[in-house]
Amino acid sequence: MAFDAQLAMTDSIAKITLTGSLDASSAPRFKEVIEQAAVQSPSRLVLLMKDLEFLASAGLRVLIFAKQKMGAKVDIYVVGSQGPVLGTLEMSGFHHSVYIQDTYADA
Amino acid sequence: MKPICLPATLDSLDEIGKYVVAATTEAGLDTKAAYGMRLAVDEIATNIITHGYEEAGRSGEINLSGVLSDSSLTMVLEDTGIPFDPRSQAAPDEDDLCLPLEERSIGGLGIFLVLKGVDDFSYEYAEGRNRNILVAKRQSVANS
């Protein structure tokens, strides 16, 4: 499935819905959306990843970029991630730094 | 499986992924092993394209083949980019993996996922060609 990233700002919360395959060919699009969110100085970043079917290191690097761009005080929520994609996040230690949840109240 | 030859550009990653999915399906790998192989091949192909070709100002192709035996699935990537051993990149260690994201280095995650994703990985350079070889044991053998 082709990659897509859709940003929605609600109050000061940036929600990005990710679908498809996130690897080096699609990571620039994800990074572009992160930058669009960052200029609005969100208080929280929520990544809706239920339909993200593939996640390579290029996507993980954009998550690191997001944290470094937005600042340590902006919490990142990963919502709906499952199976091997969730396994990749945990194996890479990202669960130490982001909140991983099955659902998000306003999702 | 019949080998494929693709331009060494990031646009080829999708086609490479489809080839790996077909190979892992034919091999009967379980979901975790199949995904691990797809991820590992994607990471190696990305390395070849970016380090072996683009950053070196070269263009060329990647050859990808899948060989199925009774005990394993072997995927081989060959290219004529500059000699590049992915194992030369330092993978993050346990301490690195526990660092907050704002303190994490962006390097080494790719080879880390390669080594985690397959049962065996090797690299060789011969006659002007890089060869990256990834092996996944088939389920019946892995469980025995």
B87 within domain boundaries: yes
Cβ pairs A/B, distance under 8 A: 85
| Enclosing domain of residue A12 | 4-101
What's the CATH number where B15 sits? 3.30.565.10
Task: Note the ipTM here.
Answer: 0.93
Q: What percent of chain B has pLDDT over 90?
A: 80
Whether the CB-CB separation of B91 and B108 falls below 8 Å is answered with yes
Whole-number pLDDT of residue A26:
97
pLDDT of B143: 54
| Residues B49-80 pLDDT 10s | 999 999 999 999 999 999 999 999 999 999 99
- pLDDT value of residue B106: 76
Per-residue model confidence (pLDDT) at position A39 = 95
Q: What sign results for the dihedral spanned by CA atoms B99, B118, A55, B140?
A: negative
Q: Which domain holds residue B17?
A: 4-137
Cα atoms found within 13 Å of the Cα of residue B88, Cβ hemisphere only: 7
pLDDT at B99: 87
pLDDT in tens, chain A (107 residues): 789 999 999 989 999 999 999 999 999 999 999 999 999 999 999 999 999 999 999 999 999 999 999 998 999 999 999 999 999 999 999 999 999 999 998 65
Q: Domain tally for chain A?
A: 1
Q: Quick one: pLDDT at residue B34?
A: 97
Q: How many CA atoms lie within 13 A of B109 on its CB side?
A: 28
Give residue for tokens 């761009």.
A69
What number of other Cβ atoms are within 10 A of residue B53's Cβ? 22
Number of structural domains, chain B? 1
Can you state the percent helix, strand and coil of chain B, rounding each to 5?
Answer: 45, 25, 30
The answer to the question of residue A107 being in a domain is no
Task: Based on DSSP, count helices (H) and strands (E) in chain B, helices before strands.
Answer: 5, 5
Cβ of residue A9 closer than 8 Å to a chain B Cβ = no
Instruction: Please check whether residue B114 is in contact with residue B44, taking contact to mean a CB–CB distance below 8 angstroms.
Output: yes
Give me the CATH number covering residue A48.
3.30.750.24
The answer to whether position B143 is within a domain reads no
- Enter the DSSP assignment of B111: H
The kind and range of the H/E element at B35 are helix B31-47
pLDDT higher at B138 or B90: B138
The residue of chain B with its CA nearest to that of A76 is B101
Would you say residue B49 lies in a domain?
A: yes
Instruction: Kindly report, residue by residue over B78-97, the tens digit of the pLDDT.
Output: 999 999 999 988 888 888 88
Strands (E), chain B: 4-7, 61-68, 72-79, 120-126, 129-137
Provide the strand spans (E) within chain A. 4-10, 13-22, 44-55, 75-79, 99-101
Rounded to 5°, the CA angle A70-A73-A77 comes to 80
Checking if the pLDDT of B141 tops 60, the result is no
Is A106 a member of any domain?
A: no
Contact B10 A84 (CB under 8 A): no
Closest partner CB to A63 (pick from B96, B101, B113): B101
